[in-house]
Amino acid sequence: MSEDERATAEGMQTCWSDSTPGEIHASFSGHRTLCGKPVIEANPIYASRLGDITCSKCGGIAVFDEGAARTRVREVLDKWIAKGKLTPASATEMGNLAIDVFPGRAFTSRRKGHSWNKISTDFLLASGAATDKDASARFVGELGLAVFEGLQASEYQGKY
């Protein structure tokens, strides 16, 4: 799916997949969920609400522009590669993992009414980046914060 196809949550359809009974996903095509599962049924756009989505991965993709997060992540990775602390291959793997996981978690937290400050602080504490002093902890902290900054900057401004 191109960036233009998912630039905003407008045009999203709620849908269902056989592989996750009872879970409500999102789609922009009606054929595949945003998390990649085949769609068995989709609501029309006019009957679809972001608030109905229960799949955190689909929700994260629907309400955040991952491109904005990827740009910020790339800046962090390039800095660590330039220092010789990461290889390009491991940097790409780490960046992709962060982009794959964090939008869904941010979607769930934002839906609960948590602020971006709380989301970032909870991440830093849970990952050890706030308390550990080694380079790995600093890297994890920088990477996570970069993702959250990108997600915050691109967050859909409607209700979800």
Q: For the chain, which ranges sit under pLDDT 70?
A: 1-8
Q: What is the pLDDT of residue 135?
A: 85
Share of the chain above pLDDT 70, in %: 95
Contacts for 67 with CB less than 8 Å, ≥ 6 apart: 3, 154
What is the rounded CA–CA span in Å between residue 58 and residue 50?
Answer: 10
Contacts for 135 with CB less than 8 Å, ≥ 6 apart: 85
What is the rounded CA–CA span in Å between residue 68 and residue 56?
Answer: 19
Task: Tell me the per-residue pLDDT of 30-51, one tens digit each, with 9 for 90 and over.
Answer: 899 999 999 999 999 999 999 9
Q: What is the pLDDT of residue 47?
A: 93
